[in-house]
Amino acid sequence: MTAQRKGLTHLVLLVSSIIMMYPVFWWLGASLKTNDEMRSPNLFPSTFHWSNYTEGWVSVPNYHFSVFYMNNLQLIAGVLFTSIVSCSLVAFAFARLDFPLRKLWFGILLVTLMLPTQVTIVPQYVLFSKFNWINTYLPFYVPHLLAGGVGGPFFIYLLVQFIRSIPRELDESAKIDGASWFGIYWRIIIPLTKPALVTVAIYCFLWNWDDFFGQLLYINSVDKYTVNLALKLFIDSAGTVPWGQMLAMSLLSVVPAVVIFFIAQKHFVEGIASGALKG
């Protein structure tokens, strides 16, 4: 009976996986079709048009998609560095330091988790416009440097829960050896919070890689476009949209996120579990 239940469970999971993966299969098949074949009920075309990938890669005049990928990586690298540094410092302060109104400030931090992003869009844009930061990557770097970027409060909360699970005896031992608070943070807390930091990095990477609205709002020049913004260049109201090329490039745009997730999956799960169970 146990074997039958196990087999039934595997069958249900297999069918469910196929159903959930169907849009991905359709996406792959559509990226290999011509415009005339898009309305065909067949999942894959009779002839695979791999040229959609090569032609789509150089479809933007004067630019290859490699430029947009490099812009994406430049933006993400700065956001990752500033976010990890600032959020880990703030989390360390909340978890280890005793300062006035600490509980109040931490409560305010938790309240900001419920604040819709749409509320801050207009005042942020007005502020960044007055600083002449429009069409630069500073609107992405500076908020994360101040631990207030996309997901900042959540990252701080996650790191605080993880740091609280680290025995304070380690801090006391480091103090006896003459370590300062920053030395404790750098030599003890940071190495021990590696799973949580990897989790923060993955979340930060995925959310900012997929952030189409924010990039559309602040970036105007094609030479600074990311992959997300470059995809909208395929849509031309005055001409025919090359759907095969656009779907091919959009499929390639998710590859880095998928690769990063699978490479760091072990640390990601460990960081989430540790933050939830030990905190």
What are the start-end ranges of the E strands in the chain?
Answer: none
Rounded to an integer, what distance in angstroms lies between the CA atom of residue 225 and that of residue 215?
Answer: 8
- DSSP designation for 236: -
- What's the pLDDT at 27? 92
Instruction: Read off the pLDDT of residues 11-43 as tens digits, 9 standing for 90 and up.
Output: 898 899 889 999 999 999 999 999 888 888 888
How far apart CA 16 and CA 8 sit, in angstroms, is 12
Q: Please report how many Cα atoms fall inside a 13 Å half-sphere around the Cα of residue 8, on the Cβ side.
A: 5
Domains belonging to the chain, first-starting first, are 2-56 (no CATH), 63-277 (1.10.3720.10)
Q: Which pLDDT belongs to residue 119?
A: 85
Q: Over the chain, what is the mean pLDDT?
A: 87
Instruction: Report the pLDDT averaged over residues 179-205.
Output: 90
Residues 167-186 have a mean pLDDT of 90
* Average pLDDT over every residue of 157-173: 90
pTM of the model: 0.84
**Which pLDDT band, with edges at 50, 70 and 90, does 277 fall under?**
very low
The four Cα atoms 88, 94, 98, 99 give a dihedral, to 10 degrees, of 100
Digit-coded pLDDT (tens) for 45-86: 888 999 999 999 998 888 889 999 999 999 999 999 999 999
